[in-house]
Structure 1
């Protein structure tokens, strides 16, 4: 995908935030930017959760927050088999296996880990091509800092992406098992913020702690909240904005 070009297909503006849909080959994405002051602002890549898409409510809400409170550009692409992207036969088999396990009240971790690892193999090259294309957009440019923000499946894709992409210099992850990710996490040394739900009914707290521990970052913060898998407090999104402001917004020298 390295030679693919980015094409904007739609644009809307609301409350000082510009939202543009784009395509890169057969990958569909969305880019949010400040209506003013966007020139060479830092870029945050966001990965959505399993079963969701680039403009699911969580993605739109986090993107608008990052733009409004941090002044960032924010980009999300649909993972393979998500949004309007077609599913393969393999996708259908894995999704069916997850749904049957959940209906039977059986653990789904092994299936989710396996399927997410498969999706990451397909999605990481797409993200690399997307980042190349986004940095050719004049108001983003190739020199600005880049962050990554993804929970659940967004972590499953984001960890291997961050492990191989040196342009990403800060990341927020969370809510995933360590299997298939711990080895790549050990290759990551950039600042990390990690979210964990103490009462997660799917991911044992020991598993979440093991993945956090695997990151080789000298600066990493663990944010633990009570509640189940889907009860991550909304204030964690505000914390993520502050994290990216600390690490991606370059200090402007004071006048002499």
Structure 2
């Protein structure tokens, strides 16, 4: 891991880093040292590691719970180079949408997710390996994951593959091809559904929630479209992670 910059704002240390060709960001409390629980935050499709949906979650996790929080750019986004196959598939999906067809019909959407996941899941695991070697994080504390929309899809894949993750907030995704993967998840999950989500029919989202193998799982359903997740769900996720990950300095 190579730290490329370090800044301090409102009691939060922000460190930009690279691990090989993986660009990422780590937020930790400006004061104090690790070890501490770590939350990984995935960003939505076409966004990046410092997008509003990442920062709006990351900062409260640091200030309210003393967590370390990390995000990385998915392939073809942020500080990553352009990914030709992702660009091609996105163009086909946009053509389908422009023709008035749901983007999740046809082979392009599952192909896009498979292409992203093939690189992103190993990248997350490599990042986690490196982060747990830092004094400000350590490897003795539990890890959580937060991801909605495409980051929810990626999160289901990552959580099913990575035993170090002990709790996850997921949702805004209803991909039928993920049910078998979801069944392998047994950790506590808070799962979000927007009742009027134009891109994820509620029946598909609830089917995926039902497929989760977790003994402790909670469905949070709110009215509104895909991008109208109520702000109070951030507070709920803080309580969820505090309950399952503890706080800085806890013993596990």
Whether the 8 Å contact between 2:33 and 2:135 is mirrored in structure 1 is no
Which of 216, 220, 223 is equivalent to 2:220?
Answer: 223
Aligned length: 248
For 1:245, what is the secondary structure of its paired residue? helix
Structure-1-length-normalised TM-score: 0.93
Counterpart position of 1:127: 124
Shift of 1:105: 2.3
Whether the 8 Å contact between 2:38 and 2:70 is mirrored in structure 1 is yes
Counterpart position of 1:150: 147
Which of 16, 20, 26 is equivalent to 2:21?
Answer: 26
Which of 189, 207, 210 is equivalent to 1:210?
Answer: 207
For 1:180, what is the secondary structure of its paired residue? helix
Q: Which runs of 5+ in 1 are unaligned?
A: 1-5
1:248 aligns with 2:248: no
After the TM superposition, which residues 86-125 of structure 1 pair with which residues of structure 2 at under 5 Å, given as runs? 86-110=81-105, 111-125=108-122
Classify 1:132/1:221 alpha carbon distance in 2 versus 1 (closer, same or farther; 3 Å). Answer: same
Runs of 4+ deviating beyond 6 Å: none
Shift of 1:180: 2.4
Shift of 1:25: 0.6
Whether the 8 Å contact between 1:109 and 1:177 is mirrored in structure 2 is no
Task: Please provide the CA RMSD for this pair.
Answer: 1.4
Mean Cα displacement is larger for which, 210-219 or 91-100? Answer: 91-100
Provide the C-alpha distance between the structure 2 equivalents of 1:115 and 1:149, rounded to a whole number of angstroms: 21
Counterpart position of 1:139: 136
Shift of 1:252: 5.6
The one-character-per-residue Cα deviations of 1:174-208 (angstroms, maximum 9, x if unpaired) are 00123221111100000000000011111111000
Provide the C-alpha distance between the structure 1 equivalents of 2:77 and 2:230, rounded to a whole number of angstroms: 25
Whether the 8 Å contact between 2:28 and 2:136 is mirrored in structure 1 is no
Provide the C-alpha distance between the structure 2 equivalents of 1:46 and 1:100, rounded to a whole number of angstroms: 30
For 1:181, what is the secondary structure of its paired residue? helix
Whether the 8 Å contact between 1:37 and 1:71 is mirrored in structure 2 is no
Counterpart position of 1:80: 75
Q: Which runs of 5+ in 2 are unaligned?
A: none
Provide the C-alpha distance between the structure 2 equivalents of 1:84 and 1:199, rounded to a whole number of angstroms: 33
Counterpart position of 1:3: none
